[in-house]
């Protein structure tokens, strides 16, 4: 099968998420890195792209140069990944979609709900794919949980409890470090700090596994380090359309927690739980029965869990291969077979609406508010 041409914006040398995209996109031979505008520093971006094997004439200094360069080519990139800081996602994603490119945008997709609605509309009008990198949903055992809910193995879901809480911004003496400070500065981060950064992964995961959308929420935000304008800790209660009760805790000051993303789903006839730091196992308990540990790669799992796994039972796969699963489904979608489960612009929009409504709720001492984007009400 012909490899697809892939381009990347952001994710330059030393960036946090860039390597996971390069490993993920190229893991299965679907994509080849053909173009890039990798860095905010044009020369550094050009040089790094060439070290990664990109031809000199496709190692661009910035994304506008890449847009015009690629638009003029017959072998233009089939997919553009946007892995720049949050405030730039909207204009870059919009410009590439409008020019007829498929886009994978990092989360959060936009800074405002209006921008999110615009991206959804532009993607629909262009007929191009706009995916959002909710990559945790592509772990094999997360897919297994989703299939278990779908096939009724825990009955109707009553309750979902999730948290994404780490302690990496818990040191008040490091709060002025520029790499930390911007995340709590509204001018750089927007209306929300920790909830927009990590909480939306957990919220997306809840919807993904339960197979339902968040309808309303009540939020309590705290800036536990007083110099921070935006929250570094949030508790969000929510209700889904079908009545499932949701509880979500997200924090960046939970010292001692490293990655700290986990989810528990409780239904009428069983419960299950999964942790990102132990991603190969799901703990499942049928009502009245014993807890079972289900392992990635064992027999009897769903087709989806098998499809998302490449190496044999007991061998860890982990984060880059979860990202790779997003790229596998993107490649299939670009080739004409839209894959169920690929997180799309609609998901990015729902997250943005939830973020903005959580801010409204938190400012009103946790009042319950409609969490849905206006266009889905
Ligand atoms: P970072 O600060 O480590 O790296 C950002 C990179 O983008 C740098 O190489 C920088 O030079 C480059 N850059 C900045 N402005 C640019 C521009 N205008 N044009 C081209 N390149 C530009 O940031 P990090 O942590 O890698 O985050 C990037 C994005 O990825 C953020 O939106 C973040 O929320 C998201 N992210 C997503 C994760 C996930 O699990 N899906 C995990 C970590 C980050």
pLDDT of res. 163: 96
Distance of CA 286 from the midpoint of ligand 1 (Å): 42
The SS3 assignment for 322 reads: helix
> What are the residue ranges of helices labelled H in the chain?
18-26, 42-51, 63-71, 89-98, 113-126, 140-150, 178-181, 186-189, 194, 200-210, 303-307, 319-334, 345-363
Average confidence (pLDDT) per 10 residues, the chain, 377 residues: 95 97 97 98 98 98 98 98 96 98 98 98 97 98 98 98 97 93 92 98 98 98 97 98 98 96 98 97 98 96 96 93 98 91 97 98 98 97
Q: Could you identify the atom of ligand 1 that is nearest to the CA of residue 179?
A: 2
pLDDT of res. 1: 79
By most ligand atoms within 8 Å of CB, the mutation choice from 11, 44, 198 for ligand 1 is 11
Tell me which residue of 274, 341, 272 sits closest to 307, measured CA to CA: 341
144 C-beta closer than 6 A to ligand 1: no
107 C-beta closer than 6 A to ligand 1: yes
Query: In this structure, what is the dihedral angle of CA atoms 323, 122, 346, 302, given to the nearest 10 degrees?
Result: -50
> What does the block give as tokens for 281?
């196992």
What is the C-alpha to C-alpha distance for residues 292 and 301, in angstroms, rounded to an integer? 13
7 C-beta closer than 6 A to ligand 1: no
Would you kindly state where each structural domain of the chain is located, as residue ranges?
Answer: 4-135, 138-311+344-363
CB 209 within 8 A of CB 343: no
pLDDT of res. 193: 98
pLDDT of res. 338: 75
Task: Quote the CATH superfamily of domain 138-311+344-363.
Answer: Dihydrodipicolinate Reductase; domain 2 (3.30.360.10)
What is the C-alpha to C-alpha distance for residues 37 and 32, in angstroms, rounded to an integer? 15
135 C-beta closer than 6 A to ligand 1: yes
Distance of CA 233 from the midpoint of ligand 1 (Å): 22
Task: Quote the CATH superfamily of domain 4-135.
Answer: NAD(P)-binding Rossmann-like Domain (3.40.50.720)
CB 116 within 8 A of CB 377: no
Total count of residues recorded for the chain: 377
Distance of CA 84 from the midpoint of ligand 1 (Å): 4
pLDDT of res. 33: 98
Pairing verdict, β 214-222 and 270-275: unpaired
15 C-beta closer than 6 A to ligand 1: yes
Distance of CA 175 from the midpoint of ligand 1 (Å): 20
10 C-beta closer than 6 A to ligand 1: yes
> What does the block give as tokens for 241?
């359309």
pLDDT of res. 298: 95
pLDDT of res. 188: 87
């Amino acid at each position: 099968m012909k490899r697809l041409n892939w381009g990347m914006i952001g994710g330059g040398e030393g960036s946090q998420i860039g390597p996971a995209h390069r490993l993920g996109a190229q893991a299965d031979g679907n994509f080849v890195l053909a173009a890039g505008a990798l860095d905010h520093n044009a020369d550094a971006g050009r040089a790094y792209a060439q070290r990664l094997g990109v031809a000199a004439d496709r190692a661009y200094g910035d994304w506008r140069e890449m847009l015009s360069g690629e638009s003029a080519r017959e072998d233009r990139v089939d997919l553009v990944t946007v892995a720049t800081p949050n405030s730039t996602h909207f204009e870059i994603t919009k410009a590439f979609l409008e020019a007829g490119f498929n886009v994978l945008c990092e989360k959060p997709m936009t800074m405002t709900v209006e921008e999110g609605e615009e991206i959804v509309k532009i993607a629909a009008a262009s007929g191009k794919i706009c995916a959002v990198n909710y990559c945790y949903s592509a772990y094999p055992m997360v897919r297994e949980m989703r299939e278990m809910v779908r096939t009724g193995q825990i009955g109707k879901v009553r309750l979902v409890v999730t948290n994404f809480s780490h302690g990496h911004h818990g040191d008040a003496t490091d709060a002025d470090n520029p790499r930390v400070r911007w995340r709590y500065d509204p001018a750089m981060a927007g209306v929300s700090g920790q909830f927009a950064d990590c909480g939306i992964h957990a919220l997306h995961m809840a919807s993904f596994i339960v197979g339902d959308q968040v309808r309303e929420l009540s939020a309590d935000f705290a800036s536990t380090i007083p110099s921070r304008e935006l929250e570094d800790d949030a508790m969000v209660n929510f209700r889904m359309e079908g009545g499932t009760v949701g509880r979500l805790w997200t924090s960046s000051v939970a010292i001692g927690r490293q990655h700290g993303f986990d989810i528990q789903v409780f239904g009428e006839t069983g419960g299950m739980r999964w942790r990102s730091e132990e991603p190969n196992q799901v703990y499942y308990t049928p009502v009245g029965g014993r807890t079972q540990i289900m392992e990635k790669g064992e027999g009897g799992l769903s087709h989806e869990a098998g499809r998302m796994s490449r190496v044999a039972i007991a061998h860890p796969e982990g984060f880059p291969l979860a990202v790779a699963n997003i790229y596998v489904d993107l490649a299939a979608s670009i080739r004409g077979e839209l894959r169920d489960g690929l997180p799309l612009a609609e998901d990015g929009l729902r997250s943005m609406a939830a973020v903005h409504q959580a801010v409204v709720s938190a400012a009103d001492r946790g009042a319950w508010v409609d969490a849905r984007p206006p266009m889905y009400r």
